[in-house]
Chain A
Amino acid sequence: MQDNNKVKEYDALVIGAGIAGGEAALNLANVGNRVLLIDKDLTVGGKMIMLSKVFPTLDCSACITTPKVSEIARHSLITTLTSTEASDIVQKDNGTFEALITTQPRYVHIEDCTGCQLCEEACPVNVEDEYQYGLVGRKAAFIPFSIASPRAAAIDIENCTLCGACERACPTNCIDFTQTVEKFMIECKTVIVATGFQLFDPTLIPRYGYGRFKNVITSMQMERQLAPTRPFNTVLRPSDGKIPDNIAYVLCTGSRDKTVGTPICSQVCCMYSTKQAQLLMGALPMADITLYFLHIRAFGKGFNEFYAQAQSMGVEYVKGKVAKITEKEDGNLILRYEDISTGKVTETEHDMVVLSVGILPNQGITGLFKNRKLELDQFNYISQSNPLESPATTSIKGVFVAGVASAPMDIPDSILSAGAASSEAANYIRQLSVKQVEV
């Protein structure tokens, strides 16, 4: 329980506990700074902890994320708060900050929860599981996923019927419906914004049929089907549970497309689709995989070789923008596109379609700051005020940006950008202690 009356002091506030925020927090704490790391979600780890394997090394994502996550959880200088957001951030004349921290009730005492899942079993309510991107259901009393951190139950109060079954089932009495919103003030010397991204909502492109055609899914749903903590233990198509044998990927869904307001490339979808194609070749050796693309952005270290490897494994790459998807009675899908290499409009049938959805910036970050303006760039990412010399600096002195919050990027680039943010933040903290900073 937080003591609400006392203002807590930290050296750094890190907003967002994805891989970027986590890395920045660790870097700062490892050189002696006290860090408050907050995430609005129920667990830390961001998107990365949900991925299957990562390109181009094909490391199991959960396996390489969990040690970081537990290092964060254990670090004596890092305080981690989930279900928590910051607001009303004010920069004072001496360059330091004040912020209001708000934690939503989880209705479970994290310290006492053993993660036994008895509440899950007892809960009668079934809803869509957002952590499995809607592929399966979950209860209203639930543990987000098996490697969540903290691995503690939470009550989804919106869907809870207050029947009390979970309370009765819990052996440690850690369920507490009297919990309320907690608010307290903190003071800190620097702020790192690592709020990451959201995924493009493909219902905005109705001609692809997402939401209407059952066998059209998103790449994040495919990530979950391929992850070690996967819901089905194999890859299934949603309409009839059949194992698909002819899967299509539609790249640049919601990216490089001015009609949906995103002119830029999302930088990761070519490679994650190539990765998924390789994983599918392993999981379903008989399946045909086709990627419909505009250009393959295989630019990073080891990427072009990874792309070549997929081609040599038999993944089909077709250059052409998919114009439209239609559904057949048996649930199969017809893709209509211009095949650039022949110049002809072509139609091809697949039994499952994965939309390689793009990356969008999270909204509302500017509103967290009160007396200073956190500028955004023309694409609504946090603007880097000196991208060539100090890529982590923002329009507010003492506020730094890390990871996808500033631009689409993959995991290694997020780590590098977090490294830059933490380096500059450490220096800012040092400057504050040795001299007055002009703000």
Chain B
Amino acid sequence: MKSKIGVYICHCGGNISDYVDVNKVRESVKEIQGVEISIDTMFACADSSQKQIAEDIANKKLDALVVASCSPKLHYPTFSAVAERGGLNKYNYVHANIREQVSWAHSDNKEGATEKAIKVVKSAIARVKESVPLEPIEVKAQKSIAVLGAGVAGMRAAKELADLGIQVYLIEREHFVGGRISQLDFLCGADITGKELVTQLYEKIHKHPNVTLFTGAEVIEKGGSIGNFKVKVKITPRYIKDECNPEQLQKAIDVCPVEVEDDFNFNITKRKAIYRNYDSEYPHFPTIDSKNCTRCGECEKVCSSIDFTQKEEIIDLTVGSILAATGFDPYQPKENEFGWGIENVVTLPQFRRIINMCDNKLIYKGKEIKDIAYIYCVGSRQVEGDNKYCSRYCCTATLYTSILTHKKYKGIHSFHFNRGIRTYGKQEVIYDEASRLGDIFLQSYEYDPPVVTKVNGKTNVKIEDLLTGGKEIEVNADLVVLVTGMEPRNDCSIGDVLKIPKGRDRFYNEIHMKLRPVETVIDGVTIAGACQGPKNIMESMNSALSAAAKSYSIVNKGELALEPIIAKVDKDTCVWCGKCAEACPFDAITKVNANGKEIAEINASVCKGCGMCLPVCESDSIDMDGFTNTEIESMINVLAEN
């Protein structure tokens, strides 16, 4: 039982003391038996206060510490580190949340808030009295990292980590690398194309001794924990031999009788069942799309590189950290949404493929295009739908596309039906350039989007235009381009495998939006690129390199100290009913034989201390280090006092 407890109560500069009478809280706990000192402070987290607390622990020989402040999510680590610096075991520190759970929640009732704060602090004192010192669990960390997704973000992170001497497994679901960027021919603010960027990156990782690339591969299971994740990777066959003959392969593509929509070109062209998306694509040889291949065997007749005997493979990898860079999907418009379904209504990604295919004249479905209407925010900033977010890249990308059409073709007229152009930062100059080229901007009211209809063979866009004080304006367009936003990947099974939480916008959620944008609540798993939220290439690269830095810091020492807050089994009372093993979401519990008796055993490096096993144990044989029954009961006793 602790008997020299230091209690510090934070004003949080007013965040707490504006609603909670901090002096009263301090006074009402100072006489409690075992409390050596109770002090209030303006900002407990400030460097000077931290120093003071550490000094008090050392000088006054405190044996336990309570800090009543903000959410433990924010500052539990801060003050447990202070406890350690003062010479305490950090598990003799208890955090009391009197901000999120008290002052902010009860800003309308100062007296009630103060009462509640007193109870919260008293219960923390009761708990800290019962606290026991614990030592971290030391584990070896694998000096290897799995990077999921070989888009530009994944490849960039892989290269950086490999250069730092880490073994990287780069795992790509498609049979080709490059992700979405290889579909972009021109990149805003750069003198290289998307394909060239992909090529540059591929060349850097391809021959790198520290990178192993798997294509057609997907992580289907994750076990273990930070430092030692065990992942199962399913590799689907390419049906092409490693040593292949490129000339024969071209013949094979030519003879394949199956034609399907080419999703690389967003269905505006067709491809064969044996295909590559573009000539310079990596890896250099095609693949056979097993969904559409009829196994007619025509290709095999002309090409010796085809091998239908290849089988699906499952391999096991052990890695210290996982970096997910699985990207986004372009929004797919619904039937009739802004005229989707009319033959000359296309999406921005499709339009960019069309521009890529037309050299001197812009031609679509046999007709020359002169007047182009762009409709912004399709699938983003939805008034009715679920996508409330802005897709960030698209205003700039559209204006850049428009500028390009002016440069490439003659006589183009662009009409931008927007909702307030968001060319933030330096991208403003692109807006400026498009305006100077004579592009026309029309803006819809928030709840009154433009309407696209087909009348007398003409595709017509009608808008009530905010910029002219609400005038109704109509434009007949040769082509309507829907500026589709970014959506989270439709198939986000990898997020479920890794258990990464998603936000309201369905993108993967970081641990702290402001200060820890690439880390997740799953220790050891980082996220990069557009799977965390819409980003342009540069922003994706920054996040890829940041995620690489965080993942690297996990594995680079080769060892890790894990939280000792884990469940323990009482060998004497356990009768192995197996209920705990069923309840454990991390498969940490197994049946073992101890002295002729079957009991449950908990794997310390896998247990996360989630507590799911505790309530299901009928013989009450499980206790949680750091949150023992004694500690929790002592808190309840105080809270229940009148």
Asked if residues B539 and A146 are in contact (CB atoms below 8 Å), the reply is: no
Asked if residues B426 and A388 are in contact (CB atoms below 8 Å), the reply is: no
In the complex, chain B residues whose CB is within 8 Å of the CB of A298: 390, 422
Tell me the smallest distance from the CB of A394 to a CB of chain B, in Å: 14
Stretch at the interface among B128-136, B257-265, B487-495, B511-519: B511-519
- Given contacts A57-B513, A60-B15, A265-B423, are A387 and B468 in contact (CB under 8 A)? no
Chain B residues 64 to 117 lying within 8 A of chain A, measured CB to CB, are 70, 74-75, 77-78, 81, 85
- Given contacts A265-B425, A387-B190, are A146 and B518 in contact (CB under 8 A)? no
- Given contacts A73-B47, A147-B46, A228-B13, are A264 and B553 in contact (CB under 8 A)? no
Output the nearest chain A residue to B533 by Cβ-Cβ distance: A301
The one of B70, B470, B550 that contacts A419, using a Cβ cutoff of 8 Å: B550
In the complex, chain B residues whose CB is within 8 Å of the CB of A70: 45-47, 50, 78
Asked if residues A391 and B542 are in contact (CB atoms below 8 Å), the reply is: yes
- Given contacts A150-B47, A424-B545, are A416 and B518 in contact (CB under 8 A)? yes
Asked if residues B424 and A265 are in contact (CB atoms below 8 Å), the reply is: yes
Asked if residues A66 and B46 are in contact (CB atoms below 8 Å), the reply is: yes
Output the nearest chain B residue to A303 by Cβ-Cβ distance: B390
In the assembly, what is the distance between CA of A147 and CA of B74, in Å? 17
Output the nearest chain B residue to A73 by Cβ-Cβ distance: B47
Output the nearest chain A residue to B78 by Cβ-Cβ distance: A67
In the assembly, what is the distance between CA of A131 and CA of B516, in Å? 27
In the assembly, what is the distance between CA of A296 and CA of B48, in Å? 40
Stretch at the interface among A193-201, A323-331, A339-347: A339-347
In the complex, chain A residues whose CB is within 8 Å of the CB of B43: 62-63, 66, 146-147, 228
In the assembly, what is the distance between CA of A300 and CA of B517, in Å? 12
Asked if residues B429 and A263 are in contact (CB atoms below 8 Å), the reply is: yes
Asked if residues A66 and B47 are in contact (CB atoms below 8 Å), the reply is: yes
Tell me the smallest distance from the CB of B275 to a CB of chain A, in Å: 28
Chain B residues 538 to 581 lying within 8 A of chain A, measured CB to CB, are 538-539, 541-543, 545-550, 552-553, 556
Asked if residues A30 and B553 are in contact (CB atoms below 8 Å), the reply is: yes
A267-309: CB near B (< 8 Å → 1, else 0) gives: 1000000000000000000000000000111111111110010
Tell me the smallest distance from the CB of A312 to a CB of chain B, in Å: 12
Tell me the smallest distance from the CB of A154 to a CB of chain B, in Å: 15
Asked if residues B156 and A389 are in contact (CB atoms below 8 Å), the reply is: yes
Q: Is A54 an interface residue (CB 8 A)?
A: yes
In the complex, chain B residues whose CB is within 8 Å of the CB of A54: 514
Q: Is B39 an interface residue (CB 8 A)?
A: no
Q: Is A64 an interface residue (CB 8 A)?
A: yes
Interface centre among B190, B420, B429 (most CB of A within 10 A): B420
In the complex, chain A residues whose CB is within 8 Å of the CB of B45: 63, 66-67, 70
B389-431: CB near A (< 8 Å → 1, else 0) gives: 1101000000000000000000000000000111111111100
In the assembly, what is the distance between CA of A340 and CA of B465, in Å? 10
In the complex, chain A residues whose CB is within 8 Å of the CB of B432: 263
In the assembly, what is the distance between CA of A435 and CA of B466, in Å? 61
Asked if residues A256 and B428 are in contact (CB atoms below 8 Å), the reply is: yes
In the assembly, what is the distance between CA of A303 and CA of B514, in Å? 12
In the complex, chain B residues whose CB is within 8 Å of the CB of A146: 13, 42-43, 46
- Given contacts A146-B46, A415-B546, are A424 and B422 in contact (CB under 8 A)? no
Q: Is B160 an interface residue (CB 8 A)?
A: yes
- Given contacts A302-B389, A319-B466, are A389 and B541 in contact (CB under 8 A)? yes
Chain A residues 37 to 68 lying within 8 A of chain B, measured CB to CB, are 54, 56-57, 59-60, 62-64, 66-68
Tell me the smallest distance from the CB of B162 to a CB of chain A, in Å: 10
**How many Cβ-Cβ contacts under 8 Å join chain A to chain B?**
226
In the assembly, what is the distance between CA of A191 and CA of B468, in Å? 52
In the assembly, what is the distance between CA of A30 and CA of B538, in Å? 25
Q: Is A138 an interface residue (CB 8 A)?
A: no
Asked if residues A299 and B545 are in contact (CB atoms below 8 Å), the reply is: no
In the assembly, what is the distance between CA of A67 and CA of B12, in Å? 13
In the assembly, what is the distance between CA of A68 and CA of B46, in Å? 10
Asked if residues B12 and A228 are in contact (CB atoms below 8 Å), the reply is: yes
- Given contacts A27-B549, A228-B15, A267-B424, are A390 and B556 in contact (CB under 8 A)? no
In the complex, chain A residues whose CB is within 8 Å of the CB of B505: 301-302, 305
Tell me the smallest distance from the CB of B73 to a CB of chain A, in Å: 11
Asked if residues A413 and B539 are in contact (CB atoms below 8 Å), the reply is: yes
Stretch at the interface among A165-173, A210-218, A404-412: A404-412
Contact size range, B = 35 or more
Q: Is B374 an interface residue (CB 8 A)?
A: no
In the complex, chain B residues whose CB is within 8 Å of the CB of A115: 48
Tell me the smallest distance from the CB of A268 to a CB of chain B, in Å: 9
Interface centre among B46, B388, B517 (most CB of A within 10 A): B46
The one of A59, A296, A391, A422 that contacts B541, using a Cβ cutoff of 8 Å: A391
Output the nearest chain A residue to B85 by Cβ-Cβ distance: A74
Asked if residues B533 and A388 are in contact (CB atoms below 8 Å), the reply is: no
Q: Is B19 an interface residue (CB 8 A)?
A: no
- Given contacts A32-B556, A419-B546, are A430 and B390 in contact (CB under 8 A)? no
- Given contacts A151-B48, A341-B470, A430-B164, are A297 and B422 in contact (CB under 8 A)? yes
Tell me the smallest distance from the CB of B510 to a CB of chain A, in Å: 9
- Given contacts A150-B47, A265-B428, are A63 and B15 in contact (CB under 8 A)? yes
In the assembly, what is the distance between CA of A381 and CA of B426, in Å? 10
The one of B46, B467, B556 that contacts A151, using a Cβ cutoff of 8 Å: B46
Tell me the smallest distance from the CB of B440 to a CB of chain A, in Å: 16
Asked if residues B14 and A296 are in contact (CB atoms below 8 Å), the reply is: no
Q: Is A315 an interface residue (CB 8 A)?
A: no
Q: Is A17 an interface residue (CB 8 A)?
A: no
In the assembly, what is the distance between CA of A379 and CA of B428, in Å? 12
Q: Is A5 an interface residue (CB 8 A)?
A: no
In the complex, chain B residues whose CB is within 8 Å of the CB of A411: 514-515
Q: Is A178 an interface residue (CB 8 A)?
A: no
Asked if residues B389 and A304 are in contact (CB atoms below 8 Å), the reply is: yes
A377-411: CB near B (< 8 Å → 1, else 0) gives: 10101000001111110000000000000011101
Asked if residues A304 and B556 are in contact (CB atoms below 8 Å), the reply is: no
- Given contacts A228-B13, A391-B538, are A407 and B548 in contact (CB under 8 A)? no
Asked if residues B467 and A340 are in contact (CB atoms below 8 Å), the reply is: yes
In the assembly, what is the distance between CA of A408 and CA of B467, in Å? 28
Q: Is B537 an interface residue (CB 8 A)?
A: yes
In the complex, chain A residues whose CB is within 8 Å of the CB of B532: 301
A133-157: CB near B (< 8 Å → 1, else 0) gives: 0000000000000110111000000
In the complex, chain B residues whose CB is within 8 Å of the CB of A233: 14
Q: Is B163 an interface residue (CB 8 A)?
A: yes
In the assembly, what is the distance between CA of A416 and CA of B542, in Å? 5
The one of B189, B425, B507, B552 that contacts A264, using a Cβ cutoff of 8 Å: B425
Tell me the smallest distance from the CB of B96 to a CB of chain A, in Å: 16
Tell me the smallest distance from the CB of A4 to a CB of chain B, in Å: 27
The one of B50, B192, B423, B504 that contacts A388, using a Cβ cutoff of 8 Å: B192
Tell me the smallest distance from the CB of B530 to a CB of chain A, in Å: 11
The one of A59, A227, A299 that contacts B390, using a Cβ cutoff of 8 Å: A299
The one of B164, B189, B470, B517 that contacts A426, using a Cβ cutoff of 8 Å: B164
A1-40: CB near B (< 8 Å → 1, else 0) gives: 0000000000000000000000000010011100000000
Asked if residues A419 and B425 are in contact (CB atoms below 8 Å), the reply is: no
In the complex, chain A residues whose CB is within 8 Å of the CB of B428: 256, 263-265
Asked if residues B545 and A419 are in contact (CB atoms below 8 Å), the reply is: yes
In the assembly, what is the distance between CA of A210 and CA of B528, in Å? 43
In the complex, chain A residues whose CB is within 8 Å of the CB of B550: 27, 419
A-B contact pairs, 30 of them (CB 8 A): A27-B553, A66-B45, A67-B45, A146-B42, A146-B43, A147-B47, A263-B429, A264-B426, A265-B424, A295-B420, A299-B390, A299-B392, A299-B422, A319-B466, A377-B426, A387-B189, A387-B538, A389-B541, A390-B541, A391-B538, A407-B425, A408-B426, A412-B515, A415-B546, A420-B545, A420-B549, A423-B545, A423-B548, A423-B552, A424-B160
> What are the 4 closest A-B residue pairs judged by CB atoms, nearest first?
A419-B546, A228-B13, A343-B469, A420-B545
Supply 14 further A-B pairs (C-beta < 8 A) apart from A265-B428, A342-B469. A70-B45, A147-B46, A265-B425, A296-B422, A299-B392, A300-B392, A304-B381, A341-B469, A389-B156, A391-B545, A415-B517, A419-B542, A419-B549, A426-B164
